[in-house]
Amino acid sequence: MVKYLTNGDKILQAVLSDQRLSEYAEYSPAEFETISEALDSDNPVVCAIAKIIDGNQRKSTEKEIYNEVSNYLKQTI
């Protein structure tokens, strides 16, 4: 079954396909197709990206998203 990709999923894939980022964060872009998959990831960078996109989709404020992402990274990185 073909998976329906949201706008956020497509952005996620486009960002994760960045070679330098994948080298830095040590992940394989093919592993993550959707935001929900990325949010569940143990890779802090992948998850942080998903949180940014997801937060934006949920219309959270910039401050809310930043706090969430930076706190998450402080704990995990």
Partner 1 sequence: MILKDIRIKNFRSYYGETTFSLSEGLTLIIGGNGDGKTTFFEALEWLFNTSAEDKKESNISAMRKSELEIGESDEVSVSITFEHEGVKELEKSFTFERISADYVRTKDFRFIGYENDGSERLSVKGANLLERCFDSFIRKYCLFKGESELNVFNNETALKTLVDTFSGIKQFEDLVALAEGFEQKSLNAVNKEMQNDQKVSRKAKDLDSKLILLNREIFDCKKDITTQETAISDYSNKLENLERYQDTSELYQTIKERIKTLTEKQFKLKGMISCDYNTNLLDEFWILRSFPKILNEYQKKSSALSREKRKLEKQETERKAKEEGKREAIEQIQKLANGAVPLPWNLPDKETMQEMIDEEVCKVCGREAHKGTVEYEFMENRLKEYLRNVEYEASAKEISVSEKKILFANSYIDELHTKQIQMSGSIEQEISSIAIEINDHLAFINDRKRDLEKINKAIQDAEDEKNRLLIQSPGITEDLLDKNFKDLKGFLETKSRAEKRVAELKFKLDGLIKEKNEIQAEFNTLEPSNKMTKVYQRVHTALECIMKAFVNAKEKNISTFLTMLEEQANSYLKKLNENDFHGIVRIIKTINGSARIELHSKNDDLINDPGGAQRTTMYMSVLFAISKITTLKREQDYPLIFDAPTSSFEVSKEDVFYNVIDKIDKQCIIVTKDLLLSDEGTGQKKLNNDKIQQLTCSVYRISKAFGYNPLDLTTIKTVTEKIK
Residues making contact with partner 1 (CB under 8 A): 7, 10-11, 14-18, 20-21, 24-25, 44-45, 48-49, 52-53, 56, 62, 65-66, 69-70, 73-74, 77
Tell the smallest beta-carbon distance from residue 68 to partner 1 (Å). 11
Tell the smallest beta-carbon distance from residue 40 to partner 1 (Å). 18
Residue among 57, 38, 60 nearest 49 (CA): 38
The backbone torsions φ and ψ at residue 58, rounded to the nearest 5 degrees and listed phi first, read -80, 5
Per DSSP, which regions of the chain are E strands? none
Cα–Cα distance between 70 and 11 in angstroms, integer?
20
Tell the smallest beta-carbon distance from residue 46 to partner 1 (Å). 10
Task: Closer to partner 1 by CB, 24 or 31: give it.
Answer: 24
- Structure-block tokens of residue 17: 């396909």
